[in-house]
Amino acid sequence: MKYNFSTTRTDKPKDKPKDMSNLGFCQHFTDHMFVMDYDKEKGWHDGRIVPYGPLTFDPASSVLHYAIQLFEGMKAYKTKEGKILLFRPEMNARRLSISASRLVMPAMDEELYIEAVKAITNFDKDWIPQGEGRSLYLRPYMISDDVFVGIRPAEKFKFIIFLSPCGSFYSGGLQPTKIFVEDEYVRTSPGGTGYAKVGGNYAATLLSQKRAMEHGCNQVLYLDGKEMKYVDEIGVSNAFFVIDGEVVTPSVDDGTILKGITRDSVIQLCKKWGYKVTERKISIDEIYEASKSGKLQEMFGTGTATVIAPVGELIWKDKNIVINDRQIGELSQRIYNELYGIQSGEIKDEMGWTMEI
């Protein structure tokens, strides 16, 4: 191995969660975490596995003032045979460097990223839950712990990965959700940071999230920041529509949409299955019209956490757009089965997407 990480084992291992049927999402954390430092002289250095625990920061650290932060989200599955699988980790590595460049943070070699992910996952592999829908959620992120007050690119950084055993989002089967279409605030706009996976993007959406909850919805559909007309994405997931047999998803050309790895995988699968898949601008008016004429067959979000999140209803101004009678669509279910099957090792991976640790 090219990279050597030091390891310090905890002397206070935690009890693993007893109730595997009720793990939830990021409610439990494993015994260890990965930490690595960056400065101009040494580049990335001192990668290490240490006991999970609080970090200390100087109060003037720039992340605490200017949100110099980016993150990733991945899952590791343990198969029935006990193999540990990652899903397209090189895509996360690439995206991390794209996000980094937008905030003038340092890039990271793909190989270093993957070795770090593998090392910490392997170290805490006893924490990977087995069984339907269960996985180990990985949260790699980068922050600046450079001590300065003022605006200039930072020079010191930390890269951290923590792990959380998570339950299935769908213990009772895929449940279509109700989504609030935000027509007042925007998440991002052309020239902004929408295509980067950075914490600051999320801070800007919390007010919309609150508005959604006031409307009985738990997710927000964002419209474009220029004309408030075209669909961008749904909170933490990319949006897909099935209109008259065609699979449509917003194009990412404006740089306002996060290029999901699940999104890319869904596009590839649908094309392989012979669907016409189109990446283009799609307006909320078009969706409304398609629903009125009965052509809007399905809508779903895609993302690592849920894989596929079917949408049963949109709340847009004073209109309720009901989709597929609030039932899970045929294609949504098929994609979920296939993707989840590949990720968890239950279906043969013909796409070459999984990486065994």
Please tell me whether residue 73 binds ligand PLP under the rule CB under 6 A.
yes
Please tell me whether residue 263 binds ligand PLP under the rule CB under 6 A.
yes
Q: Which is nearer to ligand PLP, 146 or 338 (CB)?
A: 338
Binding-site string for ligand PLP from residue 22 to residue 61, where x marks contact by CB under 6 A and - marks none: ----------------------------------------
**299: closest CA among 260, 256, 341, 266?**
266
C-alpha to C-alpha distances, 125 to 120, 135, 304, nearest whole angstrom: 8, 11, 19
DSSP 125-189: GGGPPPSTT-EEEEEEEEEE--B--SSS----EEEEEEEEEE--S-TTS---EEEEEESS--S--
Bridge-based pairing state of the strands 296-303 and 307-316: antiparallel
Count of residues engaged in binding ligand PLP, rule: CB under 6 A: 14
Instruction: Considering only the stretches 12-20, 102-110, 259-267, 310-318, report the one whose residues sit in contact with ligand PLP under the rule CB under 6 A.
Output: 259-267
Q: Are 17 and 163 in contact (CB under 8 A)?
A: no
Please tell me whether residue 233 binds ligand PLP under the rule CB under 6 A.
yes
- Minimum Å gap between C-beta 136 and ligand PLP is 15
Please tell me whether residue 68 binds ligand PLP under the rule CB under 6 A.
no
* Three-class DSSP category at 21: helix
Please tell me whether residue 261 binds ligand PLP under the rule CB under 6 A.
yes
What Rg, from alpha-carbon coordinates, does the chain have? 21
- Minimum Å gap between C-beta 1 and ligand PLP is 27
Residues 184 to 203: which contact ligand PLP by CB under 6 A? Answer: 197
Please tell me whether residue 236 binds ligand PLP under the rule CB under 6 A.
yes
Please tell me whether residue 258 binds ligand PLP under the rule CB under 6 A.
yes
Q: Are 190 and 226 in contact (CB under 8 A)?
A: yes
Q: Which is nearer to ligand PLP, 48 or 75 (CB)?
A: 75
* Residues constituting the chain: 357
- Minimum Å gap between C-beta 89 and ligand PLP is 11
Q: Are 35 and 52 in contact (CB under 8 A)?
A: no
Residue recorded with tokens 């094309």: 271
43: left (phi over 0), alpha (psi -120 to 50) or beta: left
- Minimum Å gap between C-beta 197 and ligand PLP is 5
Q: Which is nearer to ligand PLP, 16 or 226 (CB)?
A: 226
Q: What are phi and psi of 112, to 5 degrees?
A: -65, -45
Please tell me whether residue 238 binds ligand PLP under the rule CB under 6 A.
yes
Q: Which is nearer to ligand PLP, 121 or 304 (CB)?
A: 304
Please tell me whether residue 303 binds ligand PLP under the rule CB under 6 A.
yes
- Minimum Å gap between C-beta 302 and ligand PLP is 6
Among 237, 291, 297, 344, binds ligand PLP (CB under 6 A): 237
Q: Which is nearer to ligand PLP, 178 or 263 (CB)?
A: 263
Alpha-carbon dihedral of residues 190, 195, 199, 201, nearest 10 degrees? 30
Residue nearest to ligand PLP as judged by C-beta position: 260
- The distance in angstroms from the start CA to the end CA of the chain is 13
Bridge-based pairing state of the strands 246-250 and 277-280: parallel
Q: Which is nearer to ligand PLP, 32 or 187 (CB)?
A: 187
- Minimum Å gap between C-beta 261 and ligand PLP is 4
Q: What residues make contact with ligand PLP under the rule CB under 6 A?
A: 73, 197, 233, 236-238, 258, 260-263, 302-304
